[in-house]
Amino acid sequence: MKLSKQFIFFLSLFLILISGFYFIKQNNQSMAVDSSPPHPLINNTPLLKDREIFAFPKPLSNIELQAEAALLINAENGDILYEKNTEEALPIASMSKMMTELIVLEAIDEGRVSWDDTVTVSDYAFTISHQPGFASVLLNQEKNYTIRELFLAMAIRSANGATIALAEAVHGTEKDFVEKMNEKAQQLGLQNSYFVNTTGLGNEYLGEYYSVGSPNDSNIMSARDVTTLAAYLINQFPNILDIAKTPQIDFQQETYINTNLMLPDLVGKSMEYFGLDLSYEGIDGLKTGFTDEAGYCFTGTVEIGDMRFISVIIGSNNSEDRFIETKQLYEAIKEQINN
């Protein structure tokens, strides 16, 4: 069929108009996309507020601590804000009990034991609980204790006999429990850590009862490993902080004070013991430690502003020094936040 010139003309005009409308529509869509505000994190000039969120607080400078090792991290993102000798494996005394706490809490979470299960006291746990000079609550072999009672004694009073009784209740023997501690350390990537008992006492203090390593061995961890363990513990079981910040416990008609004298509720005790106010607002954990070999140690957890921080002090010369230097770190961070 032969098309007329007039028909061809109008067909061509129609196609041109259709193409024009399509071009305008596409161009308008492109303009709409291009004119939208860019995301602050991919813009060449991101919002200052958003930029500071990821770079704040900044690492601390001009601070010199006397402790053998120390570390401070922003628990929100893992940023290191202060570090000293963080990779050396050192004796850490009762800060070891954070790993014991973790293993027990996992056993409860998995249903292998419960808070209300009752525990009998072995000769080993009884002997250590009555050893003069050890952090303890006095256990009675004629009485059964619940997992809850023993856990509170371990976490708040740092009771060694209670810790051993817990380990035996969860895994049968301390030796088997320590095997789980070392397995967990490997799982968490703690490359500079090794455990020989559940308490953090040197094996020499356990006498005939030590079961792992040699008589001269003790639990060792690096400051970095301690911080990693603490962060994992409070992330997996945040309720541990409700326990750790409890100022005191009553156990068999005796009152025992929390060993963490930085807790705000214990300002009176720190003044009584040291003549110093060692308390710090926002402190809610986590674990102290002391042996002659390890010196005075402390893993602290604190909320300053809307952020959480974790600190580790290993090898202070005096009991109060571990708290004073922890407070020094926190005050420097607080100053940054307030300014």
Catalytic residues: 94, 97, 158
**Separation of CA 206 from chain center:** 28
- φ, ψ of residue 135 to 5 degrees: the values are -70, 120
* Residue 190 neighbours by CB under 8 Å, 6+ apart: 221, 225, 228, 229
Please tell me the distance from the alpha carbon of residue 338 to that of residue 47, in angstroms, as a whole number.
Answer: 20
One digit per residue, pLDDT tens: the chain, 339 residues? 444 545 445 455 455 444 444 443 444 433 333 333 332 222 233 333 343 445 579 999 889 999 999 999 999 999 999 999 999 999 999 999 999 999 999 999 999 999 999 999 999 999 999 999 999 999 999 999 999 999 999 999 999 999 999 999 999 999 999 999 999 999 999 999 999 999 999 999 999 999 999 999 999 999 999 999 999 999 999 999 999 999 999 999 999 999 999 999 999 999 999 999 999 999 999 999 999 999 999 999 999 999 999 999 999 999 999 999 999 999 999 999 998
Please tell me the distance from the alpha carbon of residue 265 to that of residue 279, in angstroms, as a whole number.
Answer: 8
Which domains does the chain carry? Answer: 58-338 (3.40.710.10)
CB 93 within 8 A of CB 294: yes
The CA–CA distances, whole Å, from 45 to 39, 40, 41, 42 equal 10, 8, 8, 8
Please tell me the distance from the alpha carbon of residue 304 to that of residue 328, in angstroms, as a whole number.
Answer: 13
User: What is the pTM for the complete model shown?
Assistant: 0.84
Among residues 169, 173, 178, 174, the alpha carbon closest in space to that of 116 is found at 169
Q: Name the burial class of residue 84, with classes exposed (0-12), middle (13-18) and buried (19+) by CB atoms within 10 angstroms of its CB.
A: middle
DSSP of 274-323? HSS----TTEEEEEEEEETTTEEEEEEEEEETTEEEEEEEEEESSHHHHH
Please tell me the distance from the alpha carbon of residue 158 to that of residue 164, in angstroms, as a whole number.
Answer: 11
- φ, ψ of residue 11 to 5 degrees: the values are -65, -45
Instruction: Say which amino acid occupies 46.
Output: P
